[in-house]
């Protein structure tokens, strides 16, 4: 058992992704500043994207572009799964959209409330 099969490359990405998710969640839950919370969200989002990409990896695969580099007939054994790549593309864009909206919330809150501290925003409860 060498290190590579014991600890395959995609697992490294997966683990890093999962760690990023935890880090992001930690940030979202403990940081009081809205901007930091948004950064936490971005971290988490990125972590998820990494997890997604890692899932699509096939041992020894290359990019799923069937051209001169990868012949059509043997492509099945040589490329990584294109689906997670496609999904992650979409997920990134969605994450971007959410981040943008969150940021504009933060901006507006700062404008009207002159604060970015989330524990100051607790007037509606119960």
Query: What residues between 5 and 64 interact with other proteins by CB under 8 A?
Result: 8-11, 14-15, 18, 21-22, 25-26, 28-30, 32, 34, 37, 41, 44-45, 48, 51-52, 55-59, 63-64
Provide, rounded to whole angstroms, the least separation between the CB of residue 110 and other proteins: 10
Helix axes 82-113, 34-55, angle to 10 degrees: 180
What CA–CA distance (Å, rounded) separates 43 from 24? 5
Tokens of 115: 């604060």
What CA–CA distance (Å, rounded) separates 69 from 55? 23
What CA–CA distance (Å, rounded) separates 92 from 8? 25
Among 33, 35, 39, 75, binds other proteins (CB under 8 A): 75
Provide, rounded to whole angstroms, the least separation between the CB of residue 111 and other proteins: 8
Which residues from 87-106 bind other proteins, rule CB under 8 A? 87, 89-94, 96-98, 100-106
Pick from 46, 47, 29: which is nearest to 37 by CA? Answer: 29
Provide, rounded to whole angstroms, the least separation between the CB of residue 94 and other proteins: 5
Give the total of residues touching other proteins (CB under 8 A): 76
| Residue 2 in contact with other proteins, rule: CB under 8 A | no
Among 35, 36, 39, 66, binds other proteins (CB under 8 A): 66
Q: Which residue has the tokens 């760690």?
A: 19
């Amino acid at each position: 058992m060498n290190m590579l099969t014991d600890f395959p490359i995609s697992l490294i990405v997966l683990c890093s992704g999962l760690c990023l998710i935890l880090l992001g969640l930690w940030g979202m839950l403990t940081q009081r500043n809205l901007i930091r919370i948004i950064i936490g969200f971005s971290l988490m989002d990125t972590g998820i994207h990494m997890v997604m990409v890692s899932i699509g990896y096939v041992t020894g695969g290359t990019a799923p572009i069937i051209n001169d580099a990868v012949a059509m007939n043997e492509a099945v054994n040589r490329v990584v799964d294109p689906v997670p790549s496609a999904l992650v593309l979409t997920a990134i864009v969605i994450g971007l959209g959410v981040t943008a909206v969150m940021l504009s919330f933060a901006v507006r809150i700062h404008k009207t409330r002159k604060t970015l501290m989330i524990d100051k925003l607790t007037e509606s409860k119960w």
